Amino acid sequence: MQSNELVKLVETELDQRKGLHISTLDVHNKTNITDYMVIVSATSARHAKSLADYVSEKVKENGVMPLGLEGQNGSDWVLLDLGDVIVHIMTGKAREYYQLEKLWSVGEA
């Protein structure tokens, strides 16, 4: 599966599962570890875990095996590594604190 197809699959699943404020960053010119980062807000740590579980299952159904999953047990930030796409699922408080969109936009005009 191409990275642009994978990111669309992830975005669709997050949207269907009530993920909030989905933001996709194209970072292929900024890092060699991934092409896209998808950042989404969850209403709670439980919601974050559920979103990660649903996305993980959906990509597996489409032939993509997740490389890693961190922060599932009651965390405000769950990271799902799909290789070409890294998904950051955060509670609103954690997202506001870490401001990943701002961090990855440094140097842009």
pLDDT of 107: 64
Q: Which of 49, 77, 79 is nearest to 67 (CA)?
A: 79
pLDDT tens string 76-98: 999 999 999 999 999 999 999 99
Domain boundaries along the sequence of the chain: 3-101
Q: What is the rounded distance in angstroms from the CA atom of residue 30 to the CA atom of residue 21?
A: 23
The pLDDT confidence band at residue 7, using thresholds 50, 70 and 90, is very high
pLDDT at position 23: 96
The CATH code for residues 3-101 is: 3.30.460.10
Half-sphere exposure of 102 (CA within 13 A, CB side): 5
pLDDT in tens, 18-72: 999 999 999 999 999 999 999 999 999 999 999 999 999 999 999 999 999 999 8
**Which residues, 6 or more positions from 11, have their beta carbon under 8 angstroms from its beta carbon?**
22, 24, 38
Per-residue pLDDT at 100: 93
Q: Rounded to an integer, what distance in angstroms lies between the CA atom of residue 64 and that of residue 80?
A: 12
Picking from 70, 68, 102, 78, the residue whose alpha carbon sits closest to that of residue 17 is 78
Residue 109, pLDDT > 60, answer: no
